[in-house]
């Protein structure tokens, strides 16, 4: 019998009035849960969370809020096995994929709890040094960050129900700003299970966290000037949020994390059989299969020097052939299904679009059988698909692979001439991405790559023969590093250690006498 997942608003579990929406198990098509969306006005819920949650959190020091994050991490870790089961059942995650999501969430909590220790009892953060307002003046200006007096509304994508929700919440809560989180409906069971755990253990002060299940209803109509809306999802919905009349009228702060056509750029010096070549192949295989390619940071375009294409295909296909796809609860299987029928249909339509400018060179999008432990035709399985750009298409900015993100196990190889200028132009055709990786031992080439490719990215991963053994695949987001990217990727910035707190705090220039400022700021 599917469980009903209620919203947590004004400190209580609340049943919605809307028609029930069914969440499925994408391996078996069985119903696992239902959600009744809230259709009444959310005005009171928003106002209550802003007022009550803000008061609770601002009464706590950074150190106390950090201790709260640590307790949340501990609770999630203790409930890890149960949470993994939910991720398998509703997300189609393999155990590895489920751990990636859940452990990613606890890692962000622990990281921000650790940073909080150094922030101690202060009520603000000081940025940089005091500056004379003009040369010789006794008057100084210093910049501080104080918690905004609003609510932060987090609207999340379906692919990381744990990491997406908790990764955002950890930073906002440490900053002292209450959270109202709206998970994507199709995979919301895991987000609900985490919030139920935190509520049951009484780890959150009153009003600090609210959960809205199902569609957003009239949520955005109630944003205020101190509120922050942080969205992760598709570019189309992100644009609707950014241009929502209330968001514009109130001047609410908006952060968007949207689509991305991440690239792997293999330098012209990389030779088959080297450790660096093997690393590039491993990374491509991980990025295409982990979470069945449903990662915003997954590599979508691989720039391969023309002379290396054949060797790379041989090694990559060999790895993909050895990746078992099937029922995700079976530990032997390394790749599960896409998370919903809608997602599966979108991916197939996307492959069709890419096929205008690229040939499928590995995989069959129509395959519906032969997945381990899965009856033929059942579930939302798609085997890894590799395409190769048609001659001349790699450098055509209108080519579909530069314009359309297929959110699944799909990669397009773009043979190129090995010139840095060509590589930079191709990366730029993605119109802004979260992350790209450069594989090279040529230091001059790398230096130019960072300046030429960097402006199109939020993060650049560099790998050479020496660091290959320790290198992490680029889709792994660490809380110390910036997450976000320009253009198509939304223009947002999240995480990045203490920088991440800036999203939820107001920068105030405090101007006054040098000694008065020093006393006030405790310097
Ligand atoms: P989506 O369809 O854009 O939905 C994202 C969220 O927005 C969901 O919670 C959805 O709720 C909600 N939503 C939809 N319409 C809305 C509206 N009019 N007002 C307010 N909220 C609305 O994206 P998705 O399919 O869940 O996720 C896949 C996309 O996310 C991909 O394009 C991927 O690139 C992107 N993504 C980006 C990042 C990043 O960090 N840049 C990370 C992960 C995913 P419902 O589910 O209830 O419709």
Cα(233) to centroid(ligand 1), Å: 3
Dist. CA 176–CA 431, nearest whole Å: 34
- Residue 113, token pair as written in the block: 């709890």
Q: Which atom of ligand 1 is nearest to the CA of 485?
A: 41
Minimal-distance CA residue to ligand 1 atom 40 = 257
**Residues comprising the chain, all counted:** 523
Question: What is the best residue among 23, 100, 184 to mutate for testing ligand 1's pocket, by most ligand atoms within 8 Å of CB?
Answer: 184
Nearest protein CA to atom 28 of ligand 1, as residue: 233
Return phi, psi of residue 86, to 5°. -65, -40
Are 269 and 442 in contact by the 8 Å Cβ rule? The answer is yes
Nearest CA to ligand 1 atom 35: 233
Query: Distance, CA 321 to ligand 1 centroid (Å)?
Result: 31
Residues of the chain with pLDDT under 50: none
Active site residue 257: yes
Show the tokens assigned to 173. 């809560």
Prediction pTM value: 0.95
Pairing of strands 410-416, 299-305: parallel
Cβ of 182 below 6 Å from ligand 1: yes
- Longest CA–CA span in the chain (Å) reads 79
pLDDT score at 63: 94
CA 504 to chain CA mean position, Å: 18
Using CA atoms in the order 505, 113, 167, 77, what is the torsion angle rounded to 10 degrees? Answer: -160
Ligand 1 touching residue 215 (CB < 6 A): yes
Going from the Cα of 184 to the center of ligand 1, the distance in angstroms, rounded, reads 7
> For the chain, what is the radius of gyration of the CA atoms?
24
467 contacts 443 by C-beta, under 8 angstroms: no
Shared fold status for 3-258+493-520 and 262-480: no
Catalytic residue among 296, 327, 405, 494: 296
156 alpha carbon – ligand 1 mean position (Å): 6
The pLDDT tens digits of the residues spanning 457-501 come to: 999 999 999 988 888 899 999 999 999 999 999 999 999 999 999
Catalytic residue among 142, 257, 493, 494: 257
Query: 110 CB less than 6 Å from ligand 1?
Result: no
Q: Is residue 233 in contact with ligand 1, taking CB distance under 6 Å?
A: yes
* CATH code of domain 3-258+493-520: 3.40.605.10
8 lines ligand 1 (CB under 6 A): no
434 lines ligand 1 (CB under 6 A): yes
DSSP code of 154? E
Say how many Å lie between the CA of residue 185 and the centre of ligand 1. Answer: 10
Instruction: Determine if ligand 1 sits within 6 Å of the CB of residue 158.
Output: yes
Atom of ligand 1 nearest to the CA of 183: 9
Contacts of 401 (CB under 8 A, 6+ apart): 261, 300, 301, 354, 357, 358, 387, 389, 393, 412, 414
Give CA–CA dist 228/504, Å, rounded. 7
Q: Is the CB of 493 under 6 A from ligand 1?
A: no
Distance between CA atoms of residues 523 and 507, nearest Å? 18
Give backbone dihedrals phi and psi of 391, rounded to 5 degrees, phi first. Answer: -50, 130
Specify the pLDDT at position 127. 92
Q: Is 17 exposed, middle or buried (0-12, 13-18, 19+ CB in 10 A)?
A: exposed
Distance CA(66)–CA(143), nearest Å, equals 23
Annotated domain spans of the chain: 3-258+493-520, 262-480
Protein residue closest via CA to atom 39 of ligand 1 = 257
Token pair belonging to 358:
């690229």
Residue 275 designated active-site: no
Task: Please choose from 46, 100, 234 the residue to mutate so as to test ligand 1's pocket, defined by most ligand atoms within 8 A of CB.
Answer: 234
Tokens at 423, concatenated:
């590589």
Is CATH 3.40.309.10 the right assignment for the domain spanning 262-480? Answer: yes
| 130 phi, psi to nearest 5 deg | -65, 145
The answer for residues whose C-beta is within 8 angstroms of residue 475's C-beta and 6 or more apart is: 262, 286, 287, 290, 295, 297, 298, 299, 435
pLDDT at 141: 96
The answer to whether the beta carbons of residues 105 and 83 sit under 8 Å apart is no
Q: In what order do the strands lie in the sheet with 385-389?
A: 358-362, 385-389, 410-416, 299-305, 262-266, 433-439, 457-463
User: Taking CA 343 as the corner, what is the angle to CA 340 and CA 345, rounded to the nearest 5 degrees?
Assistant: 110
pLDDT at 122: 81
- pLDDT for position 1: 81
Nearest residue by C-alpha to atom 15 in ligand 1: 237
Instruction: Kindly tell me the burial class for residue 361, based on how many C-beta atoms sit within 10 Å of its own C-beta (0-12, 13-18, 19 or more).
Output: middle
CA–centroid distance, 385 to ligand 1, in Å, is: 23
pLDDT at position 198 is: 98
Contact 343, 186 (CB under 8 A): yes
């Amino acid at each position: 019998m599917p469980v009903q997942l209620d919203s947590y608003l004004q400190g209580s579990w609340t049943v919605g009035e809307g028609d029930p929406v069914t969440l499925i198990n994408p391996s078996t098509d069985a119903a696992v849960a239902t959600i009744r969306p809230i259709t009444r006005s959310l005005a009171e819920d928003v106002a209550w969370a802003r007022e009550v949650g803000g008061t609770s959190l601002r009464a706590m020091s950074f150190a106390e809020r950090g201790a709260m994050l640590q307790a949340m991490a501990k609770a999630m870790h203790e409930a890890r096995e149960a949470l993994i089961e939910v991720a398998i059942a509703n997300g189609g995650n393999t155990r590895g994929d489920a751990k990636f999501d859940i452990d990613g969430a606890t890692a962000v909590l622990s990281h921000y709890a650790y940073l909080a220790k150094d922030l101690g009892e202060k009520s603000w953060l000081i940025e940089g040094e005091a500056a004379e307002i003009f040369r010789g003046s006794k008057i100084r200006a210093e910049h501080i960050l104080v918690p905004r007096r609003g609510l932060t509304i987090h609207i999340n994508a379906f692919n990381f129900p744990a990491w997406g929700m908790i990764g955002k919440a950890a930073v906002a809560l440490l900053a002292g700003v209450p959270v109202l989180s709206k998970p994507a409906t199709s995979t919301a069971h895991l987000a609900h299970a985490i919030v139920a755990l935190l509520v049951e253990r009484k780890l959150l002060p009153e009003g600090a966290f609210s959960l809205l299940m199902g569609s957003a209803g009239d949520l955005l109509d109630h944003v205020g000037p101190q509120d922050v809306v942080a969205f992760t999802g598709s570019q189309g919905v992100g644009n609707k949020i950014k241009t929502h009349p209330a968001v514009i009228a109130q001047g609410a702060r908006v952060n968007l994390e949207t689509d991305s056509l991440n690239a792997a750029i293999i330098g012209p010096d990389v030779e088959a059989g080297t450790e660096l070549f093997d690393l590039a192949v491993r990374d491509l295989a991980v990025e295409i299969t982990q979470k069945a390619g449903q990662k915003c940071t997954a590599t979508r375009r691989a720039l391969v020097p023309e002379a290396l294409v054949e060797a790379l295909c041989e090694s990559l296909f060999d790895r993909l052939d050895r990746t078992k796809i099937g029922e995700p609860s079976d530990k032997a299987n390394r790749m599960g299904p896409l998370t919903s029928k809608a997602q599966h249909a979108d991916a197939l339509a996307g492959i069709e679009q890419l096929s205008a400018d690229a040939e499928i060179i590995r995989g069959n999008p129509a395959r519906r059988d032969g997945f381990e432990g899965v009856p033929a035709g059942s579930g939302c399985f798609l085997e890894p698909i590799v395409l190769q750009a048609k001659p001349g298409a790699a450098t055509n900015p209108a080519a579909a692979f530069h314009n359309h993100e297929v959110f699944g196990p799909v990669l397009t190889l773009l043979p190129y001439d090995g010139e840095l200028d060509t590589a930079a132009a191709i990366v730029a055709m993605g119109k802004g991405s979260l992350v790209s990786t450069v594989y090279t031992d040529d230091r001059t080439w790398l230096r130019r790559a960072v300046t030429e490719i960097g402006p199109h990215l939020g993060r650049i991963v560099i790998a050479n023969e020496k660091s290959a053994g320790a290198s992490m695949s680029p889709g792994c987001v660490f809380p110390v590093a910036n997450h976000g990217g320009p253009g198509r990727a939304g223009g947002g910035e999240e995480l990045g250690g203490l920088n991440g707190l800036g999203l939820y705090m107001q920068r105030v220039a405090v101007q006054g006498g040098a000694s008065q400022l020093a006393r006030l700021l405790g310097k």
